[in-house]
Amino acid sequence: MSDQNPVFIPGPTNIPEAIRKACDIPTMDHRSAAFPPIFEAAKSGVKQVIGMTEGEVVIFPASGTGGWEASVTNTLSPGDKVLAARHGMFSQKWIDLCQRHGLDVQVIEAPWGSGVPVEVFAQTLAADTGHAIKAVLVTHNETATGVTSDVGAVRAAMNAAKHPALLMVDGVSSIGSLDFRMDEWGVDLAVAGSQKGFMLPAGLAIVGISPKALAAMETGGLPRCFFDFRDMLTGIYPYTPAVGLLNGLAKSVDMLLDEGMDNVRARHHRIAEGVRQAVAAWGLSPCAVSPALYSDTVTAIMLPEGIDGNALCQHAADAYGVAYGAGLGAVAGKVFRIGHLGMMTDVMALAGIATAEMAMADMGVDVTLGSGVAAAQDYYRKNKPAHVRAAA
């Protein structure tokens, strides 16, 4: 008997069969003529997915964390000042990475569940008339709390202050799922990983680099070797590429672009909204403090006092073979997370909601079985995808 259930963690995400097959190719000599078409297809598809027409995409055999490190070490110099908000586990880890590289991080503390404090950023940038700040870091989608921040508003604040800092965006749990506009938002470095919106196994760090960031790379930088953009941009891959994953990425971007990025975003929004309707029906609330911040890729759900979110996730795994995201850092134990990104359908989301209800009921949460499922069903029936409405 197969007991393979979908996962509801916010990455790694479920892998479509076609992508799994694309990853499974015989050994290839990456110096042969067979490799460049795969690599070029992957890179040009990524550019379209993130809304980028200038600059370069580089892809390392690494995870998203490697993309953070590459962005920072290629464009900043020892002691450089960077501005970042700490409002969740991922923003915290990127700050930590910068500090370990000897950068001077001006940390703006914000409550977990809130977004990037754009007003504070605006004031800080306006006050920095000497332009000591060399980079502004934004975690587009804080996966720990289920919060999506407004990158466009940060760009507007930088423009208003006429501030020349680089805008670095962690898009690991947004790119390929949520609206992302590299060119329009003036993003200088966009970081993604293969195992979230791209629906692949972990193993690729994907970085979009603007022309301005490429110029910064020429004049600055921290010690780097494995992550050196310059080696990646010679036209010859500097070491052994993860060919199977790159072939999978070429398939992934094909699938995303075939669906159409607007449809991909709309699907994520619909599915997320159904999950949020379920959460409301349970009488619970998202960790995200206001609807404008609600993430369409992951919902972190606040649990009642006395219910341990980590125990709940462990129980769901043991009893039902279903994975949910445990709370991290400051919200460890207080929340559990439902990931609803990547390969996700109404049907899968309903299964995830139903199983979460069973696990919560088992753990003593006062939840009526079926209440969340009914709320989500109602929403999905009334808000069918555009292509279904068109066919009806």
Least separation, in Å, of the C-beta of 271 and ligand PLP?
18
Pick 92 or 247: Cβ nearer ligand PLP = 92
∠ CA 143-23-241 to the nearest 5 degrees? Answer: 85
Q: How far apart are CA 310 and CA 325, in angstroms?
A: 9
Answer whether 3's CB lies under 8 Å from 321's CB: yes
Which range binds ligand PLP by CB under 6 A, 102-110, 170-178, 283-291, 351-359? 170-178
Least separation, in Å, of the C-beta of 66 and ligand PLP?
7
Least separation, in Å, of the C-beta of 283 and ligand PLP?
28
Pick 170 or 188: Cβ nearer ligand PLP = 170
Tell which positions 183-242 bind ligand PLP, by CB under 6 A: 193, 202
Least separation, in Å, of the C-beta of 202 and ligand PLP?
6
Pick 163 or 337: Cβ nearer ligand PLP = 337
Least separation, in Å, of the C-beta of 147 and ligand PLP?
10
Q: How far apart are CA 197 and CA 295, in angstroms?
A: 13
- Beta strand residue intervals within 263-355, DSSP E: 298-302, 325-326, 335-339
Give Cα 253 to chain centroid, integer Å: 16
Least separation, in Å, of the C-beta of 205 and ligand PLP?
7
Pick 309 or 339: Cβ nearer ligand PLP = 339
∠ CA 356-147-88 to the nearest 5 degrees? Answer: 95
Which range binds ligand PLP by CB under 6 A, 28-36, 135-143, 220-228, 231-239? 135-143
Q: How far apart are CA 151 and CA 171, in angstroms?
A: 10
Alpha helices in 161-260 (DSSP H): 211-219, 229-232, 243-259
Indicate whether 252 belongs to the interface with ligand PLP (CB under 6 A).
no
Pick 90 or 227: Cβ nearer ligand PLP = 90
Using CB under 6 A, which of 13, 14, 63, 71 touches ligand PLP? 63
> Secondary structure of the chain: what % helix, strand, coil (to 5)?
45, 15, 40
Pick 172 or 232: Cβ nearer ligand PLP = 172
Sign of CA dihedral 87, 89, 91, 95: positive
Least separation, in Å, of the C-beta of 15 and ligand PLP?
15
Pick 139 or 247: Cβ nearer ligand PLP = 139
Indicate whether 143 belongs to the interface with ligand PLP (CB under 6 A).
yes
What is the pattern of x (binds ligand PLP, CB under 6 A) and - over residues 87-116?
---x--------------------------
∠ CA 248-250-251 to the nearest 5 degrees? Answer: 65
Q: Which residue has the tokens 């590289």?
A: 101
| Tokens found for residue 194 | 């293969």
Answer whether 143's CB lies under 8 Å from 11's CB: yes
Least separation, in Å, of the C-beta of 44 and ligand PLP?
23
Q: How far apart are CA 17 and CA 20, in angstroms?
A: 5
Indicate whether 170 belongs to the interface with ligand PLP (CB under 6 A).
yes
324 backbone dihedrals φ, ψ, rounded to 5° = -115, 165
Q: Which residue has the tokens 């759900």?
A: 301
Least separation, in Å, of the C-beta of 356 and ligand PLP?
20
Using CB under 6 A, which of 28, 41, 65, 120 touches ligand PLP? 65
Element (H, E) at 318: helix 309-320
Indicate whether 85 belongs to the interface with ligand PLP (CB under 6 A).
no
Q: How far apart are CA 98 and CA 304, in angstroms?
A: 35
Which residue of this chain has its Cβ atom nearest to ligand PLP in the complex?
64
Instruction: Give the closest residue to 121 by CA, choosing from 73, 86, 76, 74.
Output: 86
Pick 61 or 372: Cβ nearer ligand PLP = 61
What is the pattern of x (binds ligand PLP, CB under 6 A) and - over residues 7-36?
----x-------------------------
Which range binds ligand PLP by CB under 6 A, 58-66, 101-109, 154-162, 350-358? 58-66
Answer whether 103's CB lies under 8 Å from 72's CB: yes
Contacts with ligand PLP by CB under 6 A lie at 11, 63-65, 90, 139, 141, 143, 170, 172-173, 193, 202
